[in-house]
Chains A and B, each alone.
Chain A
Amino acid sequence: SQQGEEDPQALSIQEGENATMNCSYKTSINNLQWYRQNSGRGLVHLILIRSNEREKHSGRLRVTLDTSKKSSSLLITASRAADTASYFCATSDKLIFGTGTRLQVFP
């Protein structure tokens, strides 16, 4: 069974727009992580948010965590064509990845 489930499954936007993707999980966690995967650089860690944090920023990335709803969101602001990739959430405790959100950013 999947621990992290991302939605939407696919998202297409224009450069400069913001992209928001969501993740839901099933059990209690210590922390949650977001990863990006593209053909050029493989699977790359983006950000880790701890269970006692509600929001975290890293450059153009903003992650929120709502443990009461067992959900997280990843916001990419001012998107670029290079952000085109699949994005996965994973709960660190069980190391289970979802099926990912495929983001396409058009120039």
Chain B
Amino acid sequence: EAGVAQSPRYKIIEKRQSVAFWCNPISGHATLYWYQQILGQGPKLLIQFQNNGVVDDSQLPKDRFSAERLKGVDSTLKIQPAKLEDSAVYLCASSPGLAGGLRSEQFFGPGTRLTVL
């Protein structure tokens, strides 16, 4: 079974520039998550999709971050404009079921390491 794919793996940009990350979840997984992980901390949920609908985006900084999941499969996360504090690893995960359910174990991609200069 293929895992969660993410690209790019690394990205270096200057502050105020824009950046986009792509995620392809495991086939058939209904739920997709984007996390931000700052060095030394645990992952912080940014947004959760069920199929192509948003379930939770309460921690997404909507003035600069946006995400979409077209056709309930692939997803993109965009930052525009980037700030220095956005430097982090951005993780995508998918799960076969819904959060809180018995099939809610998450499968994570390798992440995109973003450096904002």
Interface size on B, residues (CB 8 A): 23
- Whether B41 lies near A33 (C-beta < 8 A) is no
B102 near A50 with CB under 8 A, answer yes
Q: Is the CB of A95 within 8 A of B45?
A: yes
Let me know if B104 and A92 touch, CB within 8 A. Answer: yes
Q: Is the CB of A43 within 8 A of B33?
A: no
Closest to B48 in A: A95
Is chain B's interface secondary structure helix, strand, loop, or mixed overall? loop
Residues from chain B with Cβ under 8 Å of A61 in the complex: none
Contacts of A59 in B (CB 8 A): none
Q: Which residues of A contact B104 (CB under 8 A)?
A: 31, 33, 48, 92
Q: A88-B42, A97-B43, A100-B42 are in contact. Are A44 and B108 (CB under 8 A)?
A: yes
Number of A-B contacts (CB under 8 A): 54
In the complex, what distance in Å separates the CA atom of A43 from the CA atom of B43?
Answer: 10
B117 at the A interface (CB under 8 A): no
In the bound complex, residues from chain B placing their C-beta under 8 Å from that of A97 are 42-44
Known: A43-B91, A88-B42, A100-B42. A30 touches B109 (CB 8 A): no
Q: How far, in Å, is A1 (CB) from chain B's closest CB? A: 11
Do A93 and B44 touch (CB < 8 A)? no
Tell me the complex Cα distance, A95–B59, Å. 11
Q: Please give, as numbers and ranges, the residues of chain B lying within 8 Å of A107 by CB-CB distance.
A: none
How far is the CB of B79 from the nearest CB of chain A, in Å?
Answer: 21
Write the residues of chain B forming the contact surface with A, with a CB cutoff of 8 angstroms: 33, 40-45, 48, 56, 91, 93, 99-102, 104-111
